[in-house]
Amino acid sequence: MNDTMHAVVYRKSLPITDPASLEDAELPVPAPGPRDLLVRIEAISVNPVDVKVRAGVDPGGKPKILGWDAAGTVVAVGSEVTLFNEGDEVYYAGSIDRPGTYAQYNLVDERIVGHKPRSLSFAEAAAVPLTAITAYETLFDRFRLTGESTGTLLVLAGAGGVGSILIQLARALTGLTVIATASRPESRQFALDMGAHHVVDHRELVDQVKAVVPEGVEYIFTPNTEGRINEFAELLRPGGEITAIDDPGVLDVMPFKAKSVTFHWEFMFTRPLFQTADMAAQHELLERVAALIDDGTLRTTLTTTLSPIDAATMRRAHESVETGRTIGKTVLTGS
């Protein structure tokens, strides 16, 4: 293994149309700490968080590596690693406070890594981790659902990265009825293919949801909160719950008080960012998701594959994500 590696970096927050917004670079290969795996990256996927960080966190001229979804092969392990060995194929979403996966090699704490689903290619596997962790934590950590849970779950952006895996998990592991939002024919069909019982148009949200469930819904998942609080308050039943993953400005949640609604935030980086005592729950979660994929219960949400992993291709991927109209996940493969 060489001492240096290729990486895609940014040094300044710039519009994605600027060639300097993402650049190719040669950087040192990092050395693993006690609980770290050094992973040779085979495939990465691009998420909205990549775009948000690139646009909103200026590294002041220093090269910063983005990327928090990857599948690859373990090539070295830290002195205290117990869950993995060199040669293991893995998938994970990493931590936002460490250098990312837009590189030939990446360090990641073993407690947030899973063995790659055996039935998936590296590209198919790279599409899964970040969205699966977000969706799983939404259902089982925030809403505290079980296999016996019933009621109705409204999933906004049902054809998006998180929505498409959330629908699958809710159908497979709970007794919920799932209503997804999607407005275009292709996104509506994708949400149905993922398992949504009903699909409604977000532009007529209240009327279309109430046409399905006049009494309202028990749960709402949303990546688009700003400007929708009053609609959500109208749609939620008394004692209902909502989980949001976006970054709105200031939210006035007083419309929720009359119905005693519970509002949750879901941020899948919380456990690794704060090194929580239950950090290894993400390892266990990814192991369970891999088993569900391998037995045919869940499917990858990969829809677009680009190659190679370089700055020019990455700019194309970011441009696509910035439209807000992507279906499923976009993955990059190849050096």
CA gap 27, 20 in Å, rounded: 17
Q: What rounded mean pLDDT belongs to the chain? A: 97
Instruction: Tell me phi and psi for residue 88, to 5 degrees.
Output: -65, 140
Tell me which residue has tokens 């519009």. Answer: 15
Instruction: For residue range 161-210, list pLDDT tens digits in order.
Output: 999 999 999 999 999 999 999 999 999 999 999 999 999 999 999 999 99
- Which long-range CB contacts under 8 A does 205-208 form with residues at least 24 apart? 205/181, 205/231, 205/235, 206/231, 206/234, 206/235
Helix (H) or strand (E) run with residue 215 in it: none
Angle at 187 between CA 56 and CA 160, to 5 degrees: 35
- DSSP string over 136-169: HHIIIIIS---TT--SEEEESSTTSHHHHHHHHH
Mean pLDDT of the region 8-30: 97
Go through 246-264 and write b for each residue having 16 or more CB atoms within 10 A of its CB, e for each that does not: eeeeeeeeeebeeeebebb
- 211 CB burial (10 A radius; 0-12, 13-18, 19+): exposed
Instruction: Tell me phi and psi for residue 172, to 5 degrees.
Output: -80, -35
Q: Cβ(194)–Cβ(169) under 8 Å?
A: no
Instruction: For residue range 116-167, list pLDDT tens digits in order.
Output: 999 999 999 999 999 999 999 999 999 999 999 999 999 999 999 999 999 9
pLDDT-based confidence at residue 78 (cuts at 50, 70, 90): very high
| Lookup: tokens for 300 | 């990858």
- 88 CB burial (10 A radius; 0-12, 13-18, 19+): middle
Q: For residue 37, what are the β-bridge partners?
A: 77, 108
Q: What separation in angstroms does the CA of 285 have from each of 33, 65, 215, 291? A: 23, 26, 33, 10
Given a cut of 80, is residue 335 above it in pLDDT?
no
What pLDDT does 325 receive?
86
Q: Cβ(181)–Cβ(202) under 8 Å?
A: yes
Q: What separation in angstroms does the CA of 268 have from each of 94, 272, 299, 305? A: 10, 8, 20, 24
User: What's the order of all strands across the beta sheet hosting 217-222?
Assistant: 198-200, 177-181, 152-155, 217-222, 236-244, 262-265
What is residue 20's three-state secondary structure? Answer: helix
pLDDT-based confidence at residue 334 (cuts at 50, 70, 90): confident
What is residue 134's three-state secondary structure? Answer: helix
* Residue among 232, 79, 265, 214 nearest 156 (CA): 232
